[in-house]
Amino acid sequence: MAKRQTLLSVDALTKDYTMPGGNPVRVLDQISFGVEDGEFVTILGPSGSGKSTLLRIIAGLVTPSSGEVRYLDQPVSGVNPHVAMVFQSFALFPWLTVQENVELGLKSRGLSVKERHERSLRVIDMIGLDGFEGAYPKELSGGMRQRVGFARALVMEPDVLLMDEPFSALDVLTAENLRRDLLELWLEKRIPTKAVLIVTHSIEEAVYMGDRAVILSREPARVLAEVPILLPHWREREDVRFVRLVDQIYQTLTARPVAADSVFARGRPAPVPAVRAGSLTGMIELLDDLGGSTDLYRLADELNMDLEDLLPILEAVEMLGLGRVREGDAQLTETGRAFAQATVLRRKELFRDTALTNVPALAHIRHQLERHPQHRVGAESFLELFERYYSAEDSRSQMETLIDWGRYAELLAYDQETDQIYLEAETADPKAVPGSA
Ligand code: ADP
Ligand code: MG
């Protein structure tokens, strides 16, 4: 196949929004992809992931915090003249007729009244609204209003048609009809559009319509994968190849670490025993010296400790997947033994991996730090989350433990002066952390 020309591309787009409390939150992080001439590209991502923001940036309606949009390799600034957008909600002017709504955008194009009429009537006819030119929006069904939305974009004859979940406000049958009609216009080249970029949260819609799916993660949105969809049109949802693609994309979308972000949304997080990393490593070394497994009473004796004081340490070792207590015996896991025998650096790596997997609260803190543009968050904001479920004293103790573990594993740093948790420059690269998408 001949190399096709890249029509539109986005290069390392990043967008931060300032929240009402003044905190910046990163919504898009370094998004890059291209759209080729003749291509129908879908952008798939969970609700709230930043898809509308991305499309608005491409249309030039929102300014990115960094990165750029390019058209035929030239940077585009301001409103992008090569695109037109179909929105999810119809947003028609109720006091204008169908034809007047459709013609509106043409006024800035310097066309004669006659030309405007001709062009709009042609598009109205093409989109299946023939006979409704003089109707007002309130006289139309939802499906027909959205057809006006399409007509309004198509009459501009954009090179790239942008669509933001254009079928999601419609009932199933109406959506399916409109999808088919649009795809037919595109496949039969009845519209001069050179490329289509549609945002959706429906995997089936993406596989039904597109040539390629760009899959976004959330909080912040990053490109997780680009999946080519090479099935010939018209596609059948029952086709095994269709089902397989849907399944593959579903796995990509969900193959993320335990949604660290929702730790607190799901309820009380598991309490973290108040044990310093130093005590943990000491315990693991001792257990290893004792052959990797020993009777609890012997252990208490060896350490000259009460069982009561010993148990939280073992609980922490267990929580981290480094050991377990079974029938009065304390024993190390494989990872625990590997840890005991590892170098200092390797120990930190093992601890980092196991802590991110097994201690959701710590994964949550790390995740928030990565999301934050300055990679710096007040410890107080995490404390508040704990205080929804624990006493003030227990919350503080858990935060202290998590900070201590996080510092030991070099997952985070802590500034006592400002009570802020932050990422040190060399550990701020999220790619350096296993399991963070
Ligand atoms: P999607 O279209 O994928 O559902 P959006 O792009 O609409 O996602 O929103 C992504 C995130 O950005 C959401 O958390 C939303 O609340 C936030 N957001 C969107 N627009 C603004 C804005 N103008 N100011 C602050 N936050 C915004
Ligand atoms: Mg949206």
Q: How far apart are CA 135 and CA 434, in angstroms?
A: 58
Ligand 1 centroid to residue 50 C-alpha, Å: 6
75 bridge partner residues = 70
Measured from the CB, is residue 17 less than 6 Å from ligand 1?
A: yes
Is the pLDDT confidence value at 288 over 70?
Answer: yes
Query: What is the 11 CA–ligand 2 centroid distance (Å)?
Result: 21
Q: Which of 140, 152, 155, 143 is nearest to 94 (CA)?
A: 140
Residue minimizing CA distance to atom 5 of ligand 1: 50
Prior bond of 186 cis (ω within 30°): no
- Strands 160-164, 83-86: pairing is parallel
Which tokens sit at 175?
């959506």
For ligand 1, whether the C-beta of 76 sits within 6 Å is no
Question: 255-280, pLDDT tens digit by residue?
Answer: 654 444 455 656 677 789 999 999 99
Helix (H) or strand (E) holding 248: helix 240-254
Residue 315: its H or E element: helix 307-319
Residue nearest to atom 16 of ligand 1 (CA): 48
Question: Chain-centre distance of CA 150, in angstroms?
Answer: 28
Q: Which of 17, 23, 61, 214 to mutate to test the pocket of ligand 1 (most atoms within 8 A of CB)?
A: 17
**CA–CA separation, 353 and 417 (whole Å):** 29
pLDDT digits (tens, 9 = 90+) for 383-431: 888 887 777 888 899 999 999 999 999 999 999 999 999 998 755 554 4
From atom 15 of ligand 1, which residue's Cα is the shortest distance away? 48
**Angle, alpha carbons 258-262-263 (nearest 5°):** 75
Tokens of 157: 């004859």
> With a 6 A CB cut-off, is 200 part of the ligand 1 pocket?
no
Closest CA to 182 of 213, 151, 139: 151
> Which ligand is closest to the CA of 49, given by its number?
1
Residue 158 in this model has a pLDDT that exceeds 60? yes
Minimum CA distance residue for ligand 1 atom 20: 53
Residue 218 confidence (pLDDT): 82
pLDDT at 161: 98
Q: Which residue's alpha carbon is at the smallest distance from atom 6 of ligand 1?
A: 50
Angle at 56 between CA 53 and CA 57, to 5 degrees: 85
Amino acid at 355: A
- Scanning the structure block, which residue is given the tokens 């979308």? 253
In this predicted structure, the answer to whether residue 24 has a pLDDT above a threshold of 60 is yes
Instruction: Give the whole-angstrom CA distance, residue 62 versus residue 65.
Output: 10
pLDDT the model gives residue 132: 96
Torsion angle (degrees, nearest 10) of CA 57, 38, 218, 56? 20
Confirm or reject: Cβ of 166 under 6 Å from ligand 1: no
> What's the rounded mean pLDDT across residues 175-200?
96
| Cα-only R_g, the chain | 28
Q: How confident is the model at residue 333 (pLDDT cuts 50, 70, 90)?
A: very high
pLDDT digits (tens, 9 = 90+) for 82-112: 999 999 887 899 999 999 999 998 988 889 9
CA 111 – CA 10 distance, rounded (Å): 31
CA dihedral 100, 103, 107, 112 (to 10 degrees): -100
Helix (H, G, I), strand (E, B) or coil at 316: helix
